Amino acid sequence: MLELRKDIFADERDDNLNEVGKGTQRQDMLGHVTGTSTYFNDHKLQGMLHLRVVRSTQPHARLRRIDTSEAERSEGVRRVIRGADVPRNLNTLLSLINFGKDDEPTLAVDKVRYRGEPIVAVVAESPRAAAEAAAKVRIDYETLPAVFDVEEALKPGAPVVNETYPKNAFTYHERYDHQKLRFGDVERGFAGADHVLEQRYQMSPIEHAPVETNGSIAAPDTNGRYVVYTSTQALFFSLDTCAKILDLPSNTFHFIGGTVGGGFGGKVDTLTEPLAILAAMLTGRPVRYVLGREEEMQFGPPRGAERIYIKDGVMRDGRIVARQIRGYFDSGAYTRLSSYAVVKCAAHLPGPYTIPNVHGDIYCVYTNRTPATAMRGFGITGMDFALECQMDKLAHLIGMDPMEFRILNAYRDGDMKAHRREAKNTALIECVQVAAEKAKWPIREEFRRMSSRKDGGGARAAVPSTPREPASARPAPAQQRTSYDRRLPISPSSEPPPPQSPAPAPAHGATRFSSVFGTRRR
C-alpha cells in the first residue's frame, strides 16, 4: 500500500499536506461503478450514419487507380470520401506549435506509406452497409520497395518513405538530421578507462490497447456548428487540428470529451475526428467513426520502437568516465510526435548519473511502419530500459554490487548535467537506498550513508572542455513539397518556421523546470 517516507528530506518541507498521502475518491467513480459514465460511443443520435475507412493493404505503394463506383452504388451508402474532398489533406500534428512540416494526409492520394493507411472513407446507413461497401472499393497498387529497419532507412539508396523528408530523417532547425549532445570528450574518457563496454539494445513497438478503441461521433449543430463526441485525450489539440484540416475557424466545433476509456498516449493523434466531421458536413447527418479492434492494433499508433547503442568507459573503482549513445527512434511513416520524443530523449542523456564525458546522437527515422506516437514517458522510458540494462552489465563487469554502483554514479545536488543545467532536488541515491531496504538487499554502510545532498557540486559542477567537431552538419537539401498529395493548401501558417539557433536557456528556465517537483529549501 501507499507509504510516504516523510523521514527523507524531512527538514525541507512543512508537514502540512492536506491531500497527498490520503485516499481521495475520484469524482467519476460513482459513474464508473454504475455504468453511467458517458463515453463518446454512448451517444445515440437520430439518423446517425456510420463511417468505415478503406485501408492500405501494402506497406509502400503508389496508388495507380482508386475505383469507388461500385461502392457508391452499394445499398445504404450516403457518401464516399476521397483525399480530394479533404480541405487541407496534409498535416503534421505539431504544426500547431510550428514544429515540423506537414507530411501526413488524412486520406492517401497518390501513395501509401504503411499498411493500414486510410485511403477512402465510406459513409453508410449502418455499420454493415459501410463494411459491405468498403469491400467494394477497388484499389490498384504499384508496390514499392519498403524499408522497416531504422538503420537501413538511413543508408544511401534506401527507399524514400516520406517525400517531405527525403533522407528518411526528421530535419531539426531546417538542417540537422538528428539531435546532438556533446559534453566533455568521450574519446579521451574511453582512452583512460579501465574497461569499455559497447552494447546494442532494441525495443519493440508497444500498442496501448485501451479497452475502448479510438473513435468519435460528429453531428451538425445549430448555427452551422458541429458537435463532436470524442475519445480524444487531448480535446483542444484535436479541435485545433480539425480546424486546420477542415480549414474552418475552431469555434465551428464544439468538442465534448474527457471520459476516455483508456488512452495511455494512444488517443492524442486526432485519428477519427477530421473524417467524422467532414462526413457530417457532406451528409448533413450525425456520423460515427469508431475503430474496430483490428484497426486499433494495425492503424492505431504504438509507442515507437527504438534501437540504442551504448558505449561506456568505466573505472575499476566503479566510476563511469565516458558514455556514448546512438539512438534511432522508429517514427513509422509519418512524424506525429516522434520528433519531440527525440528532443526529450537527448535532454535525458546520460540518465540520472553524473558522467564527465557524454556524447549523444539521436535520430527520428521514417520507415514503412505504422506511425508511432506518445506513450507513457515516450522518449525517456525506452532509453532508460537500455541505460539500466547497461548499468547492470557494467556493475557485473567490474564486480560491483548493482545498487551500490548506481548510488556511486548517481547525480547529486549541484552537479552539472550533460545538457548544462545544474542538478537540483536530486533523490536517486535515496530511492536506491529505500529500494534496497525494501528488497532486503544488503548494501554496505558507506553506501547507506551517501546522500543526494552531500559531495555534489564543486569539480562536479564544471562544464568540461568540449572539443568542437569539424563542421559536419551539411545543410540538408532544401526540402521539397512532395509530388504526392498534391492538393496542398498554400497558406502562411503552413510555412515551416524560420530556423532558430538554440539559445542558451535563461536562468529562470531551470527554476521553473524544477518547480514541477517542488522547491527544495537549501
Partner 1 sequence: MAKTPLQFRHNGRDVALFVDGGTNLLVVLREMLGDVTPKFGCGQGGCGACTVLIDGDAHLSCLTLAEAVEGRAVETLDGIKSGPTLHPLQRAFADGFAAQCGYCTPGMLMAAKALLDKIPQPSREQVVEAISGNICRCTGYEPIINAVLAAAASLRASA
Q: Which of these segments, 139-147, 172-180, 208-216, 362-370, binds partner 1 (CB under 8 A)?
A: 208-216
Contact 143, 352 (CB under 8 A): no
What is d(CA 61, CA 484) in angstroms, rounded to the nearest whole number?
A: 12
Are 242 and 277 within 8 A, CB to CB? yes
Task: Specify the residue, 288 or 406, whose C-beta has the smaller distance to partner 1.
Answer: 288
Looking at beta carbons only, is 175 or 376 nearer to partner 1?
Answer: 376
Indicate which single residue of 4, 17, 29, 507 sits in contact with partner 1 (rule: CB under 8 A). 29
Q: Work out the number of other CB atoms within 10 angstroms of the CB of residue 14.
A: 6
Interface with partner 1 (CB under 8 A), residue from 263, 301, 318, 332:
263
Binding to partner 1 in span 380-409, by CB under 8 A: none
Binding region for partner 1 (CB under 8 A) out of 40-48, 191-199, 379-387, 509-517? 40-48
Environment class of 345 (CB within 10 Å of its CB; exposed 0-12, middle 13-18, buried 19+): buried
Q: Which stretch binds partner 1 (CB under 8 A): 186-194, 258-266, 321-329, 336-344?
A: 258-266
Nine cell digits for residue 355: 558522467
Regarding 31 and contact with partner 1 (CB under 8 A), the answer is yes
Measuring CA to CA, how many Å separate 364 from each of 121, 168, 176, 305, 441? Answer: 30, 8, 11, 11, 39
And the C-alpha cell for 421? Answer: 543545467
Give the whole-angstrom CA distance, residue 229 versus residue 215.
Answer: 9
Q: Output 35 or 224, the one with its CB closest to partner 1.
A: 35
For 32, other C-beta atoms within 10 Å of its C-beta total: 11
The kind and range of the H/E element at 287 are strand 287-290
Nearest CA-CA partner of 414 in 426, 405, 398: 426
213 binds partner 1 (CB under 8 A): yes
Radius of gyration for the alpha carbons in the chain, expressed in angstroms and rounded = 26
Among 211, 439, 459, 516, binds partner 1 (CB under 8 A): 211
Cell for 23? Answer: 485516499
Q: Does 25 bind partner 1 (CB under 8 A)?
A: yes
Report the C-alpha gap between 306 and 419 in whole angstroms.
Answer: 21
- The only residue of 3, 14, 19, 44 in contact with partner 1, by rule CB under 8 A: 44
* Pair 371, 334: CB distance under 8 Å: yes
CB 375, min distance to partner 1, A: 12
Q: Least Å distance between CB 4 and partner 1?
A: 17
Supply the DSSP string of 303-339, one letter for each residue.
BPPEEEEEEEEE-TTS-EEEEEEEEEEEEETS-TTHH
28 binds partner 1 (CB under 8 A): yes
| Given 39, 201, 237, 309, the residue binding partner 1 (CB under 8 A) | 39
How far apart are CB 210 and partner 1 at their closest, in Å? 6
- CB-based contacts of 66, cutoff 8 Å, min separation 6: 82, 119, 120, 137, 138, 139, 140
Among 6, 64, 293, 316, binds partner 1 (CB under 8 A): 293
- Hey, how many other C-beta atoms are within 10 angstroms of the C-beta on 88? 20
30 binds partner 1 (CB under 8 A): yes
- The secondary structure element, H or E, covering residue 123 is strand 118-124
User: Cα(425)–Cα(431) distance, rounded to whole angstroms?
Assistant: 12
Q: Is 477 in the site for partner 1 (CB under 8 A)?
A: no
22 touches partner 1 (CB under 8 A): no
Binder to partner 1 among 102, 132, 212, 306 (CB under 8 A)? 212
The answer to whether residue 179 forms part of the interface with partner 1 (CB under 8 A) is no
* CB closer to partner 1, 125 vs 163: 125
Q: Please identify which residue in 8, 9, 41, 476 interacts with partner 1, judged by CB under 8 A.
A: 41
Q: Say whether residue 261 binds partner 1 (CB under 8 A).
A: yes
Strand partners, 230: 216
Measured from the CB atom, the residue of 36 and 143 that comes closer to partner 1 is: 36
With CB under 8 A as the contact rule, the residue among 8, 9, 37, 298 that binds partner 1 is 37
Of the candidate spans 7-15, 209-217, 322-330, 419-427, the one that interacts with partner 1 by CB under 8 A turns out to be: 209-217
In this structure, how many other beta carbons lie within 10 angstroms of the beta carbon of residue 59?
Answer: 23
How far is residue 119's CA from residue 83's CA, in Å, rounded to a whole number? 7
- Other Cβ atoms less than 10 A from the Cβ of 28: the count is 12
The span of 41-49, 188-196, 243-251, 336-344 binding partner 1 (CB under 8 A) equals 41-49
Span near partner 1 by CB under 8 A; candidates 141-149, 211-219, 331-339, 468-476: 211-219
Which letter, b or e, does each residue of 89-103 get, where b requires 16 or more Cβ atoms within 10 Å of its Cβ?
Answer: bbbbbbbeeebbbbb
Q: Work out whether 220 is an interface residue with partner 1 (CB under 8 A).
A: no
CB of 219 to partner 1, least distance (A): 16
- Tell the smallest beta-carbon distance from residue 373 to partner 1 (Å): 16
One residue of 45, 196, 209, 347 binding partner 1 per CB under 8 A: 209
Give the footprint of partner 1 on this chain (CB under 8 A).
23, 25-26, 28-37, 39, 41-42, 44, 208-213, 259-264, 290, 292-293
